[in-house]
Amino acid sequence: MELPYIDVLLEKRSQGDRKADAFSRHIHWGLWTRLRGTGIRGRGVVAAQERLDDTVAGGALISDGMAVLDVGCGFGGTLGRLSERLPATRLVGVNIDHRQLTRALPTRAHLICADGCALPLPSAAFDAVLAVECIFHFPSRLAFLEEAQRVLKPGGRLSLSDFVPADQTDPDNAASRWFEDQVAKGYGRQSKWSDGDYQAMADKAGLVVEQDTDVTRLTLPTYLYLLSSGIARAVTGRGHVSVRSTFLLFLLSALGAVRYRLVVLRKPSDLPRGEDPGQAASLFEEPNDHVNVASSVG
């Protein structure tokens, strides 16, 4: 899996530049409450990123004492925020890129290097599953939804954020392929929409869509921060995410071709045959220390 923007962030962290960039803790867009008069410098961006974290976590109705899985956990920013605010919550983070896990922020969470579409976790183990701005990197959104459904307890929720094209038919034309190639140079390739929209995928995965909200407008300042810092870093010769990729994704978002959506899906309360909530207990028998599991699954 090619993740050019992650390569840039890891290079900066290896150079000791942990505070200069708002993306040193959270590797995702921010959510602003308003656009006019919005600050797009470091602190303002971090506050917007934390607001997105809180909104996604709020969609899953997370409360203290729950078991929570964060898939695509990045540097552990979301887990760290949950750890600070909900001290009795049992936290597990999964990421397929071991480099991110070895540089993750210290938290109480168990960190596992694994494929989000083949989770090495027991069924019916979690009250909530989060996927903050990562599912588009997975080989199949539907496969991930099916895995989330499996590991959720009956009545549990999957809450995620995703870049969703307005036209999900994946038009095969030269212009579309060019845009896709240019964005991929900075952010990696997105998985296809061959399984339909979230409603169609939820039906196939045995989940119920509770919320599907377009918040694109409130994420747009993120692009301004990335573009301004990217141009500055390019001029000074420092590592930076592709300015062209960022500008094209901003253009697609501003024009409505790509939408930033918050989606909440619930696993029905009826317990399917073969699922035993008791088997999840062993997952949390060890102390909640910061753990990196080096073996990769999938």
Does residue 285 carry a pLDDT above 50?
A: no
Q: Are 205 and 146 in contact (CB under 8 A)?
A: yes
Q: What is the pLDDT of residue 183?
A: 81
Q: What is the pLDDT of residue 40?
A: 66
Q: What is the pLDDT of residue 11?
A: 73
What is the CATH architecture assignment of 4-293? 3-Layer(aba) Sandwich (3.40)
| CA distance linking residue 291 with residue 280, whole number of Å | 18
User: pTM to 2 decimals?
Assistant: 0.85
Q: Are 210 and 264 in contact (CB under 8 A)?
A: yes
Name the strand (E) or helix (H) holding 223.
helix 221-236
Q: What is the pLDDT of residues 207-235, one digit of tens each?
A: 999 999 999 999 999 998 888 876 555 44
Q: Are 65 and 17 in contact (CB under 8 A)?
A: no
Q: What is the pLDDT of residues 129-160, one digit of tens each?
A: 999 999 999 999 999 999 999 999 999 999 99
Q: Which stretches of the chain are assigned E, i.e. beta strand?
A: 67-71, 90-95, 110-113, 126-132, 152-165, 208-214, 258-266, 291-293
Burial 92-131 (b: 16+ CB within 10 A, else e): bbbbbbbbbbebbbebbbbbbbbbbbebebbbbbbbbbbb
Calculate mean pLDDT across residues 201-205: 97
Listed range (6-20, 53-67, 72-86, 123-137) with the worst mean pLDDT: 6-20
Q: How confident is the model at residue 42 (pLDDT cuts 50, 70, 90)?
A: low
